[in-house]
Amino acid sequence: MQHVIDNVSRAKWVDEVVVASPHKIPDYKVEVWEDLDENDLLTRYYLSAKVNEADVIVRITSDCPFIDSNIIDMAITYYFKTSFPYVCFAPVDGLDVEVFSFRLLEEAWYNSKGEYDKEHVTPYMKRKTKLSIDTKEDLRKARQWYEFLR
């Protein structure tokens, strides 16, 4: 975990590194949420972001020891240059960076009901910001986005 935190700390656009954990971890700024279901990461993220008054959350999981600060900065820059409330940059598994607004995190927290959504934090966001066209409803949304962006 130290390697991940060190790499995240090197990113130019990261103001603060917060670890949202069900357990205390020595030598880290940790928001400890012992009373929560250990698999409810969505609530841990939400409460940690709320307590720290975060407007934008950069999500990097502890199983990404090779995460690079340049990739993190690239994802954050893209987030701020676009109007998307959720940005995911994952060139390969293990270099995953997700950037999203507190507002979208709060919406996900209120609306996610299933265990999968609560454990993996961002499935609700991915469904909400999906841009691929697989159904008639997707096509309708894509046309709206296209008109908005023109």
CA–CA distance, 85 with 94 (Å, rounded to integer) = 22
Nearest by Cα to 75 from 97, 49, 104, 43: 97
pLDDT per residue over 34-64, tens digit each? 667 788 999 999 999 999 999 999 999 989 9
Of the two residues 14 and 29, the one the predictor is more confident about is 14
Q: What percent of the chain lies above the pLDDT cut of 70?
A: 89
Residue partners of 115: CB distance under 8 A and separation at least 6: 39
Let me know: does 99 contact 86? Beta carbons within 8 Å. yes
* Between 113 and 107, residue with greater pLDDT: 107
pLDDT tens-place string over residues 79-97: 999 878 999 998 889 999 9
Q: Write down the pTM of the prediction.
A: 0.84
Question: For helices 2-9 and 69-81, what crossing angle results, to 10°?
Answer: 50
**Residue that has been written with the tokens 């390969």 in this structure:** 92
- Return the residue matching tokens 């894509």: 142
Q: Are 8 and 70 in contact (CB under 8 A)?
A: no
Quick check: 84 and 122 in contact, CB under 8 A? no
Phi and psi at residue 88, in whole multiples of 5°?
Answer: -125, 130
Helix H or strand E encompassing 58: strand 56-59
Return the bridge partners of 32, or none: 21
Count the Cβ atoms, other than its own, within 10 Å of residue 125. 23
Q: 2-149 in CATH: which number?
A: 3.90.550.10
